[in-house]
Amino acid sequence: MPRIVLVDAAGVLYLDTEAIPGAGAGIRYLKENGVRVFCVTNNTCQHPSLITQMLAKKDVLFKEDEIISSGFGLQMDEEVHSLVSGKKIFVYGKDTSFFYIEAAGGHRVDRIEEAEAVVLTSTVDERHDIRFTMLRQSLAEHPRPVICSNPDRLVATPNGLATVIGHDAAILEADGIPVYWMGKPYPEFCHVVRKYLQKKGLVLGHADIFFDDNYHNVAMMAGTLGINGCLVHKTGISAGIPLEDLIPNPAVGYAVDSFCI
Protein backbone atom coordinates (compact mmCIF):
# COMPACT_ATOMS: atom_id res chain seq x y z
CA MET A 1 0.00 0.00 0.00
CA PRO A 2 1.44 3.42 -0.92
CA ARG A 3 1.70 6.15 1.71
CA ILE A 4 0.92 8.94 -0.77
CA VAL A 5 -1.27 8.92 -3.89
CA LEU A 6 -1.33 11.77 -6.38
CA VAL A 7 -4.29 11.79 -8.72
CA ASP A 8 -5.31 13.96 -11.66
CA ALA A 9 -8.85 15.36 -11.81
CA ALA A 10 -10.36 15.83 -15.29
CA GLY A 11 -10.46 12.52 -17.17
CA VAL A 12 -9.60 10.55 -14.04
CA LEU A 13 -12.04 11.59 -11.30
CA TYR A 14 -14.66 13.13 -13.57
CA LEU A 15 -15.54 13.73 -17.18
CA ASP A 16 -17.38 16.97 -17.91
CA THR A 17 -20.21 17.12 -15.34
CA GLU A 18 -20.19 13.47 -14.32
CA ALA A 19 -17.97 11.60 -11.87
CA ILE A 20 -16.12 8.56 -13.14
CA PRO A 21 -17.94 5.57 -11.60
CA GLY A 22 -16.07 4.39 -8.51
CA ALA A 23 -13.75 7.42 -8.31
CA GLY A 24 -15.27 8.84 -5.13
CA ALA A 25 -15.31 5.43 -3.48
CA GLY A 26 -11.68 4.92 -4.46
CA ILE A 27 -10.60 8.18 -2.82
CA ARG A 28 -12.54 7.31 0.36
CA TYR A 29 -11.03 3.81 0.49
CA LEU A 30 -7.49 5.15 0.28
CA LYS A 31 -8.06 7.77 2.96
CA GLU A 32 -9.80 5.31 5.28
CA ASN A 33 -6.71 3.12 5.02
CA GLY A 34 -4.31 5.88 6.02
CA VAL A 35 -3.12 6.92 2.57
CA ARG A 36 -2.54 10.64 2.02
CA VAL A 37 -4.29 11.54 -1.24
CA PHE A 38 -3.75 14.76 -3.18
CA CYS A 39 -5.42 16.00 -6.33
CA VAL A 40 -2.67 17.27 -8.64
CA THR A 41 -4.32 19.34 -11.33
CA ASN A 42 -3.55 21.79 -14.12
CA ASN A 43 -6.78 23.59 -13.25
CA THR A 44 -5.85 27.24 -12.69
CA CYS A 45 -9.30 28.45 -13.63
CA GLN A 46 -10.57 27.97 -10.07
CA HIS A 47 -9.42 28.63 -6.51
CA PRO A 48 -8.69 25.35 -4.68
CA SER A 49 -11.81 25.87 -2.56
CA LEU A 50 -13.92 25.98 -5.73
CA ILE A 51 -12.21 22.84 -7.02
CA THR A 52 -13.12 21.01 -3.82
CA GLN A 53 -16.73 22.20 -4.12
CA MET A 54 -16.90 21.10 -7.74
CA LEU A 55 -15.53 17.65 -6.87
CA ALA A 56 -17.79 17.34 -3.81
CA LYS A 57 -20.84 17.75 -6.07
CA LYS A 58 -19.59 14.61 -7.81
CA ASP A 59 -19.12 12.83 -4.45
CA VAL A 60 -15.32 13.04 -4.77
CA LEU A 61 -14.16 14.47 -1.45
CA PHE A 62 -10.96 16.44 -0.92
CA LYS A 63 -9.97 19.07 1.60
CA GLU A 64 -8.80 22.39 0.21
CA ASP A 65 -5.19 21.75 1.23
CA GLU A 66 -5.29 18.44 -0.66
CA ILE A 67 -5.54 20.30 -3.97
CA ILE A 68 -2.19 20.98 -5.66
CA SER A 69 -2.84 23.27 -8.61
CA SER A 70 -0.27 24.20 -11.23
CA GLY A 71 -1.21 27.77 -10.32
CA PHE A 72 0.85 27.38 -7.15
CA GLY A 73 3.93 27.42 -9.37
CA LEU A 74 3.46 31.15 -9.86
CA GLN A 75 4.54 31.68 -6.27
CA MET A 76 6.60 28.53 -5.56
CA ASP A 77 8.86 28.38 -8.63
CA GLU A 78 11.60 31.00 -8.32
CA GLU A 79 11.96 31.82 -12.02
CA VAL A 80 8.25 32.12 -12.73
CA HIS A 81 7.65 34.00 -9.47
CA SER A 82 10.24 36.59 -10.49
CA LEU A 83 8.24 37.25 -13.67
CA VAL A 84 5.01 37.82 -11.73
CA SER A 85 5.80 39.28 -8.31
CA GLY A 86 5.52 43.06 -8.27
CA LYS A 87 4.83 43.13 -12.02
CA LYS A 88 1.87 44.36 -14.06
CA ILE A 89 0.18 41.20 -15.30
CA PHE A 90 -2.43 40.75 -18.00
CA VAL A 91 -4.41 37.61 -17.17
CA TYR A 92 -5.92 35.70 -20.06
CA GLY A 93 -8.58 33.56 -18.43
CA LYS A 94 -11.63 33.65 -16.23
CA ASP A 95 -12.08 35.88 -13.18
CA THR A 96 -11.97 32.83 -10.93
CA SER A 97 -8.30 32.34 -11.83
CA PHE A 98 -7.13 35.75 -10.54
CA PHE A 99 -6.34 34.27 -7.10
CA TYR A 100 -3.16 32.59 -8.35
CA ILE A 101 -1.71 35.80 -9.79
CA GLU A 102 -2.57 37.85 -6.71
CA ALA A 103 -1.15 35.18 -4.38
CA ALA A 104 2.11 35.42 -6.31
CA GLY A 105 2.24 39.20 -5.83
CA GLY A 106 1.23 40.18 -9.36
CA HIS A 107 -0.75 43.33 -10.10
CA ARG A 108 -3.49 42.67 -12.64
CA VAL A 109 -4.07 45.14 -15.43
CA ASP A 110 -7.01 45.14 -17.82
CA ARG A 111 -5.13 46.35 -20.88
CA ILE A 112 -2.50 44.17 -22.52
CA GLU A 113 -0.58 47.33 -23.51
CA GLU A 114 0.15 48.05 -19.83
CA ALA A 115 1.39 44.56 -19.00
CA GLU A 116 4.95 43.53 -18.24
CA ALA A 117 4.00 39.86 -18.59
CA VAL A 118 1.01 37.73 -19.53
CA VAL A 119 -0.37 34.74 -17.62
CA LEU A 120 -2.56 32.26 -19.49
CA THR A 121 -4.85 30.42 -17.08
CA SER A 122 -7.71 29.10 -19.21
CA THR A 123 -9.72 29.54 -22.35
CA VAL A 124 -12.55 32.04 -22.11
CA ASP A 125 -16.18 31.31 -22.86
CA GLU A 126 -17.00 34.31 -25.01
CA ARG A 127 -15.23 35.31 -28.24
CA HIS A 128 -12.19 33.19 -27.42
CA ASP A 129 -10.89 33.02 -30.99
CA ILE A 130 -11.19 36.79 -31.45
CA ARG A 131 -9.70 37.62 -28.07
CA PHE A 132 -6.79 35.23 -28.51
CA THR A 133 -6.06 36.67 -31.96
CA MET A 134 -5.90 40.15 -30.43
CA LEU A 135 -3.53 38.89 -27.73
CA ARG A 136 -1.36 37.19 -30.34
CA GLN A 137 -1.12 40.38 -32.41
CA SER A 138 -0.22 42.47 -29.37
CA LEU A 139 2.56 40.09 -28.37
CA ALA A 140 3.88 40.04 -31.92
CA GLU A 141 4.15 43.84 -31.85
CA HIS A 142 5.48 44.06 -28.31
CA PRO A 143 6.88 40.72 -27.03
CA ARG A 144 6.61 40.09 -23.30
CA PRO A 145 7.10 36.95 -21.22
CA VAL A 146 4.12 34.61 -21.26
CA ILE A 147 3.48 32.14 -18.45
CA CYS A 148 1.11 29.30 -19.27
CA SER A 149 -0.13 27.97 -15.94
CA ASN A 150 -2.23 25.23 -17.57
CA PRO A 151 -0.17 23.35 -20.16
CA ASP A 152 -3.01 21.02 -21.18
CA ARG A 153 -3.46 21.06 -24.95
CA LEU A 154 -6.49 18.76 -24.98
CA VAL A 155 -9.24 17.67 -22.61
CA ALA A 156 -11.75 14.88 -22.98
CA THR A 157 -15.41 15.82 -23.30
CA PRO A 158 -18.52 13.72 -23.98
CA ASN A 159 -18.23 14.92 -27.59
CA GLY A 160 -14.57 14.00 -27.98
CA LEU A 161 -11.32 15.90 -27.44
CA ALA A 162 -11.36 19.69 -27.22
CA THR A 163 -8.41 22.10 -27.39
CA VAL A 164 -7.70 24.29 -24.37
CA ILE A 165 -5.28 27.03 -23.36
CA GLY A 166 -2.06 24.99 -23.65
CA HIS A 167 -2.82 24.57 -27.35
CA ASP A 168 -2.97 28.35 -27.72
CA ALA A 169 0.23 28.82 -25.72
CA ALA A 170 2.00 26.46 -28.13
CA ILE A 171 0.87 28.72 -31.00
CA LEU A 172 2.46 31.72 -29.26
CA GLU A 173 5.66 29.77 -28.73
CA ALA A 174 5.72 28.86 -32.43
CA ASP A 175 5.39 32.60 -33.14
CA GLY A 176 8.67 33.13 -31.26
CA ILE A 177 7.10 34.44 -28.04
CA PRO A 178 8.93 33.12 -24.95
CA VAL A 179 6.54 30.88 -23.03
CA TYR A 180 7.22 29.64 -19.50
CA TRP A 181 5.30 26.43 -18.88
CA MET A 182 4.10 25.64 -15.38
CA GLY A 183 2.15 22.45 -14.74
CA LYS A 184 2.08 18.82 -15.74
CA PRO A 185 4.18 17.37 -17.34
CA TYR A 186 7.00 19.89 -16.81
CA PRO A 187 9.76 19.10 -14.30
CA GLU A 188 9.47 22.57 -12.75
CA PHE A 189 6.00 21.65 -11.55
CA CYS A 190 7.30 18.35 -10.19
CA HIS A 191 9.56 20.41 -7.93
CA VAL A 192 6.56 22.52 -6.86
CA VAL A 193 4.64 19.36 -5.93
CA ARG A 194 7.61 18.08 -3.95
CA LYS A 195 7.94 21.41 -2.11
CA TYR A 196 4.21 21.49 -1.33
CA LEU A 197 4.35 18.02 0.21
CA GLN A 198 7.55 18.75 2.13
CA LYS A 199 5.82 21.70 3.80
CA LYS A 200 3.37 19.13 5.15
CA GLY A 201 6.20 16.91 6.35
CA LEU A 202 5.69 14.42 3.53
CA VAL A 203 8.41 12.89 1.38
CA LEU A 204 7.54 10.83 -1.67
CA GLY A 205 8.86 7.27 -1.86
CA HIS A 206 9.14 4.53 -4.48
CA ALA A 207 5.89 2.89 -3.38
CA ASP A 208 3.82 6.03 -3.92
CA ILE A 209 1.71 6.41 -7.07
CA PHE A 210 0.65 9.09 -9.54
CA PHE A 211 -2.51 8.54 -11.64
CA ASP A 212 -3.23 10.53 -14.82
CA ASP A 213 -5.05 10.02 -18.13
CA ASN A 214 -2.19 11.67 -20.08
CA TYR A 215 0.67 9.25 -20.82
CA HIS A 216 3.28 12.03 -21.06
CA ASN A 217 2.17 13.45 -17.71
CA VAL A 218 2.51 10.04 -16.07
CA ALA A 219 5.95 9.41 -17.56
CA MET A 220 7.41 12.80 -16.63
CA MET A 221 5.80 13.24 -13.22
CA ALA A 222 6.46 9.72 -11.98
CA GLY A 223 9.96 9.66 -13.43
CA THR A 224 10.96 13.04 -12.00
CA LEU A 225 9.36 12.44 -8.60
CA GLY A 226 10.79 8.91 -8.35
CA ILE A 227 7.43 7.22 -7.76
CA ASN A 228 5.18 4.75 -9.58
CA GLY A 229 3.14 5.95 -12.54
CA CYS A 230 -0.27 4.60 -13.51
CA LEU A 231 -2.00 5.51 -16.76
CA VAL A 232 -5.78 5.75 -16.54
CA HIS A 233 -6.46 4.52 -20.01
CA LYS A 234 -10.13 4.61 -20.92
CA THR A 235 -11.80 7.59 -19.25
CA GLY A 236 -9.81 10.59 -20.50
CA ILE A 237 -7.62 11.71 -23.36
CA SER A 238 -5.91 8.31 -23.70
CA ALA A 239 -9.19 6.59 -24.54
CA GLY A 240 -8.98 5.03 -27.97
CA ILE A 241 -5.17 4.89 -28.06
CA PRO A 242 -3.99 1.25 -28.02
CA LEU A 243 -1.51 0.67 -25.23
CA GLU A 244 0.85 -1.01 -27.68
CA ASP A 245 1.09 2.26 -29.63
CA LEU A 246 2.59 4.09 -26.64
CA ILE A 247 6.36 4.26 -26.35
CA PRO A 248 7.35 2.13 -23.35
CA ASN A 249 8.61 4.14 -20.41
CA PRO A 250 9.81 2.53 -17.17
CA ALA A 251 8.14 5.31 -15.15
CA VAL A 252 4.73 4.13 -16.39
CA GLY A 253 4.56 0.84 -14.57
CA TYR A 254 0.82 0.33 -14.58
CA ALA A 255 -2.30 0.97 -16.64
CA VAL A 256 -5.91 0.72 -15.52
CA ASP A 257 -9.13 1.27 -17.42
CA SER A 258 -10.42 3.73 -14.81
CA PHE A 259 -9.59 5.05 -11.35
CA CYS A 260 -11.62 2.55 -9.38
CA ILE A 261 -10.06 0.93 -6.33
Q: Give 51-63 pLDDT, tens digit per residue.
A: 999 999 999 999 9
> Looking at the domain covering 72-181, what would its CATH class be?
alpha beta
Architecture (CATH level 2) of domain 4-71+185-256: 3-Layer(aba) Sandwich (3.40)
Percent of the chain with pLDDT over 70: 100
Confidence (pLDDT) at 102: 97
For 45, half-sphere exposure in the C-beta direction (CA atoms, 13 angstrom radius) is 14
Provide the pLDDT confidence category of residue 20 given band limits of 50, 70 and 90.
very high
Instruction: Give the whole-angstrom CA distance, residue 58 versus residue 52.
Output: 10
Residue 125 has pLDDT above 80, yes or no: no
pLDDT at 191 over 80: yes
Q: Has residue 217 got a pLDDT over 90?
A: yes
Query: pTM of whole model > 0.75?
Result: yes
- List where CATH 3.40.50.1000 sits in the chain: 4-71+185-256, 72-181
User: Which amino acid would we find at residue 140?
Assistant: A
Q: Is the dihedral of CA 173, 182, 49, 27 positive or negative?
A: positive
C-alpha dihedral sign at 11, 13, 19, 25: positive
pLDDT in tens, 139-178: 999 999 999 999 999 998 888 898 999 999 999 999 999 9
**pLDDT at 160 (0 to 100):** 86
Give the pLDDT of residue 240. Answer: 87
